[in-house]
Amino acid sequence: MTSASIKEILNEFNLNGNSTQCTPLNSGLINDTYLVQEDDDRQYILQKINTNVFENAPILMDNIQFALPILSADDYEQITFLSTRTGKNHLIQNNEFWRMMTYIPNSTTYNTTTNPATAFEAGRIIGKFHQLLQDIDTAIFKDTLPQFHQLSHRKHEFQQALQTSDTEKLTTAQAAITKAQHFITELQHLNTDGLPIRVCHNDTKLNNILFSKKSEKGLCLIDLDTIMKGFFFYDFGDAIRTVVNTAAEDEQNHDLITFNTTLFTSFVDGLATNSSFLSSAEKESLPLGAVFMPFIHGLRALTDYLNNNRYYKVTYKNQNLDRCLSLFNFAEKALDHKEFTQTYIQGKLV
């Protein structure tokens, strides 16, 4: 972005582009994100949505706007979007899709944690998110990424990639391909019968949870682009893969990948403070959800690797393959701990 284009965009959101600083934030894999600070120290988050991924960005914003008024409580911080000069919650300019939202001061995120208190707060705030949204009409939410976590859809994409990928990639990824085919067989009979459809975040990795720098309490969930219908085990399993594993998502040394039982029990303890909305069938689905979600993410990373990295940003050649192998390894560890997780969940989420 040039300084001139930044000023133009900020002016459209009723900010004075001449009296602001705009700093890129590089943690996201999909969108381009910037921290905007005015001379009076007020701060905002400016994002350019990746419309190659989110082809229906206006519908995405509708989903978020349905949920945001409800996502507010004494123990849940509310995020709001700034309006443009024309009163919209987004800006389309030069075929680019922009939005700006409030920034919660003295807040931070974590990619991983070794702190049980952080794990507890992650569970608590995810439970609070669902507790607040439990009575919302799911019918008003559109699927901006259809079949996002559906195994049959991801399996089809994977099989298509196998047909079109070059020989070198297929050879390099052979171990990952074999593991993917094994997990697909193991998980294709995951039973969702009787599970209520909920409005889910659908991307509850740890760094999508905002924490207070002062109290270290969980504040709210961020990166709301994937808010749409789903099953609760999606959000549970997605959180577990980053809260309970202390290694990076693309960790190449698999000896460092962990299923930390202390962090797991702390997360479930936090969830238990806001879990009264969960049905018996949902509780029964959670142990396998902790296996399913890292596998699905790993399968998507493998498919993207075979498709020459169309979806996820990469900083080196085989990063998506490393992501895949790391996620598959954690899925294996979660499966090894299935009896433990089942017993603890049954005893805690009553």
Please report which confidence band the pLDDT of residue 27 belongs to, taking 50, 70 and 90 as the band edges: low
Question: How many CB atoms are closer than 10 A to CB 27?
Answer: 10
Question: 147, 332, 131, 125: which is closest to 245 by C-alpha?
Answer: 332
CA 234 to chain centre: 10
Verify that 130 and 70 share a domain, yes or no: no
Q: Token pair for residue 172?
A: 């390099």
Evaluate whether residue 202 is within a structural domain. Answer: yes
What CA dihedral angle connects 242, 248, 254 and 259, to 10 degrees? Answer: -20
Q: Say which range, 26-30, 105-109, 155-159, has the weakest mean pLDDT.
A: 26-30
* β-pair partners for 48: 32, 98
Question: How many CB atoms are closer than 10 A to CB 348?
Answer: 14
Evaluate whether residue 277 is within a structural domain. Answer: yes
Please report which confidence band the pLDDT of residue 1 belongs to, taking 50, 70 and 90 as the band edges: low
DSSP H/E element including 213 = none
Mean pLDDT of 19-26: 80
Mean pLDDT of 246-265: 95
Domain range for residue 13?
A: 3-105
Which of 74, 105, 136 is at the close of a domain?
105
Mean pLDDT of 119-138: 98
Residue type, 279: S
Q: How many Å apart are CA 159 and CA 93, to the nearest integer?
A: 37
* pLDDT of 61 over the 70 cut: yes
HSE value, Cβ hemisphere, 13 Å, CA-based, for 141: 25
Verify that 322 and 201 share a domain, yes or no: yes
Question: 324, 281, 323, 279: which is closest to 190 by C-alpha?
Answer: 281
Verify that 38 and 127 share a domain, yes or no: no
Which of 64, 86, 105 is at the close of a domain?
105
| Residue appearing with tokens 């996820």 | 312
pLDDT score for 20: 78
* pLDDT of 117 over the 70 cut: yes
Mean pLDDT of 235-263: 96
Which of 60, 83, 105 is at the close of a domain?
105
pLDDT score for 2: 57
DSSP H/E element including 108 = strand 107-108
Q: Token pair for residue 25?
A: 């934030």
Cα distances (Å, whole numbers) of residue 243 to 40, 127, 152, 246, 276 = 36, 15, 27, 7, 22
Verify that 83 and 140 share a domain, yes or no: no
- Higher model confidence: residue 17 or residue 115? 115
Is-contact 148 63, C-beta < 8 A? no
Verify that 172 and 58 share a domain, yes or no: no
Mean pLDDT of 135-140: 97
Q: How many helices (H) and strands (E) does the chain have?
A: 11, 10
